Amino acid sequence: MSHIHQPLIFAHRGANKEAAENTRSAFDRALQYPIDGIETDIQLSRDEVAVLWHNRFLGKIGLPGKRIDDFDHAQLQGMNFAAHFSVSAQAEGIMSLQEFLDAYRKRCRLLLEIKIHESEPVSRREIKIRQTLQRAERLKDASAWVSSFDIASLLYAHDCAPGFPLIYNFEKKQTIKEAQQVLAAQPFLRGLCLPIATLDNAWVDLLRDRHKCIAVYTCNSEAEINKALNFGVDVLISDVPQKALQMRNMKLSPG
């Protein structure tokens, strides 16, 4: 395993165990802890506004079968995206990417995951990517990275903004051989974001040998957090960032 290293702790969709994910409340709760960054998800409304929501569908807020892109931004703002968390939670409309950047760009690092859907027209994917990059590129006072599970989207992003830090999200079913091929073919990638269950010495050696960033998701149990810490990852993404911070600090404390 790697030497003890201080990974950056990112709150997964904010402090989503304490407030509704991807809402201002969740982000504000996360920043009550000394986290290093926030991870969030980028979707596109029907009228092509980049907004924050993990799942394309809206069943969580009582609209089964309906999707983010069935509604304009103004309509989404009028819905309660905190309703799934608690009936007593303060109502919150959807947050746009621009609102998120305006509110948090000076406060921590940002990891912006662009959500891509198989049935989504390529033209809308490209709008979503361009909007995200155009807004994120303006940040001069905080580090921002863009990630995706779709390599074609990352290739397009690289064509749009060469040099912008791009992270390829891997799924459990993807192999280390595939990673070797992708990194050889696409050297612009800043690194990979791996499921914590996948992480082992071979993956760490592959990425360290190529001087690539190692990010892992989603580390919630003590065993998962310890595993990430012991391997010395660069970015640890967690639903319980306060626990990850406490364990990181204990591991790094002298004696």
Threshold 0.75, pTM exceeds: yes
Q: What is the pLDDT of residues 232-249, one digit of tens each?
A: 999 999 999 999 999 999
Q: Does 18 map to a domain?
A: yes
Q: Does the pLDDT value for residue 49 go beyond 80? A: yes
Q: Does 25 map to a domain?
A: yes
Q: What is the CATH number of the domain that holds 26?
A: 3.20.20.190
Q: How far apart are CA 67 and CA 46, in angstroms?
A: 9
Tokens standing for 2? 């790697």
Q: Does 62 map to a domain?
A: no
| pLDDT computed for residue 142 by the predictor | 62
In the chain, how many domains are there?
1
Q: Does 73 map to a domain?
A: no
Q: Does 149 map to a domain?
A: yes
pLDDT bucket at 114, cuts 50 / 70 / 90: very high
Helix ranges (DSSP H) in the chain:
24-30, 73-77, 97-104, 122-137, 151-160, 176-185, 201-209, 222-231, 241-252
* b/e map 177-199, b = 16+ CB within 10 Å: eebeebbeeeeebbbbbbbbebb
- Cβ count within 10 A of residue 82: 23
Across 165-183, average pLDDT: 97
Q: Radius of gyration of the chain from Cα atoms?
A: 18
Q: Does 196 map to a domain?
A: yes
Across 214-225, average pLDDT: 98
The helix-helix angle for 122-137 and 151-160 (nearest 10°) equals 50
Q: What is the longest distance spanned by two Cα atoms in the chain?
A: 56
Q: What is the pLDDT of residues 189-201, one digit of tens each?
A: 999 999 999 999 9
Q: Does 76 map to a domain?
A: no
Q: Does the pLDDT value for residue 87 go beyond 90? A: no
How high does pLDDT run on average in the chain? 94
Q: Does 89 map to a domain?
A: no
**Can you give the residue range of the structural domain that contains 139?**
8-57+97-252
Q: What is the pLDDT of residues 142-164, one digit of tens each?
A: 689 999 999 999 999 999 999 99
Token pair 């591991």 in the structure block, residue:
251
Q: How far apart are CA 223 and CA 229, in angstroms?
A: 10
